[in-house]
Amino acid sequence: MHLKNKFDVGKFTILAEMQPPKGVNVSAMINSATRVRKAVDAFLVPEMGNAIMRMSALGGAMVLQSRGMETIMQVNCRDRNRIALQADLLAAYGCGIINIMGVSGEDPSLGDHHQTKAVHDIDLMTLFKAISTLQTGKDLAGNELSGAPEFLVGATVNARATGDELEKKLAEMEEKTEAGVDFFIAPPVFDLGTIAPFREKVDLKKTRIIPTVMLLKSVGMARYLTRHLNVTISQDLIKRLMRAPDKATESLSIATEIIAAVKEAGFAGVMISAMGWEDKLQKLLDRV
Amino acid sequence: MIIADRKSLEEILDMIKDFKKILLVGCKGCVTVCNVGGAKEVGVLAATLKIARKKEGNPIEIDEKTLERQCDPEYVEQIRDIFDQYDAILSMACGVGPQFLSEAYPSQKFFPAVDTKFFGGAVQHGIWEERCAGCGTCVIHHYDGLCPIARCSKSLQHGPCGGSADGKCEIAKDVECIWDTIVKKKMEQGRLEDLRIIRAPKDWQTARDGGPRKSIREELVQ
């Protein structure tokens, strides 16, 4: 059963982020993914997040897809023009990749190739238009295609927004849904209270929202997230991690609890971001 | 200077179709020099628009004014007493002008009558060509005073590409291959060896690619 079918029947889907290597050594990625392939519904392959150059999402997704693991391939607007984006989408489908996630792409100044020229030939909404246009059997220039792809399309949504910002995000989500987006992945959540305002305004039965559950690897990481990335992590949680004799196990316990809470709250699934602890995913998913 | 081309009459008429009274503002800066938005052009456009609207049976009142520069708050102030007397203001300045006006008069609507194109100069009376891309890191001295960033279609630092033929760029017969010119010049001066230096990959952070830019003269800021 593909991811689309799982969404359709209302299964609580488990997605796991599987970052391609910064190099060609794909063994770690393959091993981590293979160990959890039965428990994970699809692997989200990011496209050079934070503008850090690594193996492309198309390559990474193909590595997993060729081994029978379903993937969600990310595409961003920063690195490719409309010709290349459409070309890579066709290539993806031709290689068995049927799930796509569109993102804008962070500025190069955040990554490791500061001097590069960001492309942004088309913006995110136009990218979604390109994805839906290709599915009608035409390209953006109106030319007929020899075979049309069929994609399940994802996007991000900031479920932590409140007040006016929340209204803007809801309008954006509606716009993206009209442009063909089927599911939305929300940023990392540690306390469901932070996404309560969002939860109240969205009909989770109609719109598929998938919050990210990030493995808290250390107290240092928790502090970094709160100070620099605007992520809310309660002091209680930080203390818990600080006091734990075995941080890794405690981190997994915390993640397990959050996943359970996300499921209870009626979300369509969860996206696990292991942040380098992909080898511990199996342990986590055994508990879930 | 900044070169702009006037928008088509159709496009301008469409922009102002709902308005009965507008102010048409020209600029004595770049757009006067490239004969697209100075006092003379303001007069011609105002007359043309009035005639077109009269023909439609939907007359329009157009007042005319030409500022010294629309990119200067001092001159932008000069319409403080009159800006709100109009349904909208149509600016013939480059893209900078209507934005400065818009910031100074947030309650008014501003429309651009020209499409701003490039930094360039007159090669002949009536013909202006692009010379500078504003890349923020000028290296024309590497190319004997010629800029491949602005004048090569691919902005090659090591050209020409395979598309260069008879001194022309592959994109169009009337586009000079600047690399052909650079190579010829180096050959004439016996310095072809200069072009064998492999330059570091271009740092686009100083160009518009690095985000909107600012220039600050510390010694002048109060």
| Percent of chain A at pLDDT exceeding 90 | 88
Question: B203: which chain A residues are within 8 Å (Cβ-Cβ)?
Answer: 114-115
How confident is the model over B76-134, as pLDDT tens digits?
999 999 999 999 999 999 999 999 999 999 999 999 999 999 999 999 999 999 999 99
How confident is the model over B26-39, as pLDDT tens digits?
999 999 999 999 99
Q: Are strands A208-214 and A269-273 parallel, antiparallel or unpaired?
A: parallel
What does the DSSP 8-state code read for residue A194? Answer: G
Q: Average the pLDDT over B173-202 and give the result.
A: 94
* DSSP H or E stretch at residue A278: none
Average pLDDT, chain A: 95
* Predicted pLDDT at B148: 97
* Predicted pLDDT at A276: 86
* Claim to verify: residue B25 and residue B108 sit in the same structural domain: yes
B214 in a structural domain: no
> Is the Cβ pair A117, B201 closer than 8 Å?
no
* Claim to verify: residue B113 and residue B7 sit in the same structural domain: yes
- Domain end among B117, B152, B175: B117
B220 in a structural domain: no
* Claim to verify: residue B150 and residue B91 sit in the same structural domain: no
B216 in a structural domain: no
- Domain end among B117, B150, B174: B117
Quick check: B103 contacting A, CB < 8 Å? no
* Claim to verify: residue B106 and residue B140 sit in the same structural domain: no
> Is the Cβ pair B204, A116 closer than 8 Å?
yes
Query: Distance between CA A35 and CA B50 in Å, rounded?
Result: 75
Residue A287 has pLDDT above 90, yes or no: no
B80 in the Ramachandran plot: left (φ > 0), alpha (ψ -120 to 50) or beta? Answer: alpha
* Predicted pLDDT at A32: 93
B175 in a structural domain: yes
> Is the Cβ pair B203, A115 closer than 8 Å?
yes
* Claim to verify: residue B166 and residue B76 sit in the same structural domain: no
Place A14 in a pLDDT band, splitting at 50, 70 and 90: very high
Quick check: B210 contacting A, CB < 8 Å? yes
Q: CA of B38, closest CA in chain A: separation in Å?
A: 34
Residue B15 has pLDDT above 90, yes or no: yes
Q: Which chain A residue shows the shortest CA-CA distance from B135? A: A117
CA A250 to mean position of chain CA atoms: 24
Domains, chain A, ranges and CATH? 3-217+248-287 (3.20.20.220)
Rounded to two decimals, the pTM is 0.91
Of A146, A165, A145, the C-alpha closest to A157 is A165
Q: Which chain B residue shows the shortest CA-CA distance from A118? A: B209
Q: CA of A123, closest CA in chain B: separation in Å?
A: 15
Question: A118: which chain B residues are within 8 Å (Cβ-Cβ)?
Answer: 209
Average pLDDT, chain B: 96
Domain count across chain B? 2
> Is the Cβ pair B204, A107 closer than 8 Å?
no
* Claim to verify: residue B27 and residue B93 sit in the same structural domain: yes
* Claim to verify: residue B113 and residue B144 sit in the same structural domain: no
* Predicted pLDDT at A231: 86
* Claim to verify: residue B107 and residue B143 sit in the same structural domain: no
How many Cβ atoms from other residues are within 10 Å of residue A169's Cβ?
A: 21
Question: A107: which chain B residues are within 8 Å (Cβ-Cβ)?
Answer: 211
Residue A147 has pLDDT above 90, yes or no: yes
- Domain end among B90, B117, B144: B117
* Claim to verify: residue B103 and residue B141 sit in the same structural domain: no
> Is the Cβ pair B209, A117 closer than 8 Å?
yes
Quick check: B211 contacting A, CB < 8 Å? yes
* Predicted pLDDT at A9: 95
Residue A230 has pLDDT above 90, yes or no: no
How confident is the model over B145-177, as pLDDT tens digits?
999 999 999 999 999 999 999 999 999 999 999
CATH of the domain at B11: 3.40.50.1970
Q: Name the one residue in this structure whose structure tokens are 């809310």.
A: A232
Quick check: B39 contacting A, CB < 8 Å? no
> Is the Cβ pair A109, B210 closer than 8 Å?
yes
Quick check: A112 contacting B, CB < 8 Å? no
Place B23 in a pLDDT band, splitting at 50, 70 and 90: very high
Quick check: A115 contacting B, CB < 8 Å? yes
* Claim to verify: residue B40 and residue B100 sit in the same structural domain: yes
Q: Which of residues 92-111 of A touch B (CB under 8 A)?
A: 107-109
> Is the Cβ pair B203, A107 closer than 8 Å?
no
* DSSP H or E stretch at residue A102: strand A99-103
* Claim to verify: residue B137 and residue B194 sit in the same structural domain: yes
Q: CA of B205, closest CA in chain A: separation in Å?
A: 5
B122 in a structural domain: no
* Claim to verify: residue B164 and residue B99 sit in the same structural domain: no
Q: CA of B123, closest CA in chain A: separation in Å?
A: 31
CA angle, B45 as apex, B21 and B113 as ends, to 5°?
A: 80
* Predicted pLDDT at A200: 94
Q: Determine the structural domain holding residue B11 and report its residue range.
A: 2-117
How confident is the model over A32-62, as pLDDT tens digits?
999 999 999 999 999 999 999 999 999 999 9
Q: CA of B156, closest CA in chain A: separation in Å?
A: 14
B218 in a structural domain: no
B11 in a structural domain: yes
Question: In sequence order, which residues have a C-beta less than 8 Å from that of residue A193 and are 6 or more positions away?
Answer: none
Q: Average the pLDDT over B45-57 and give the result.
A: 97
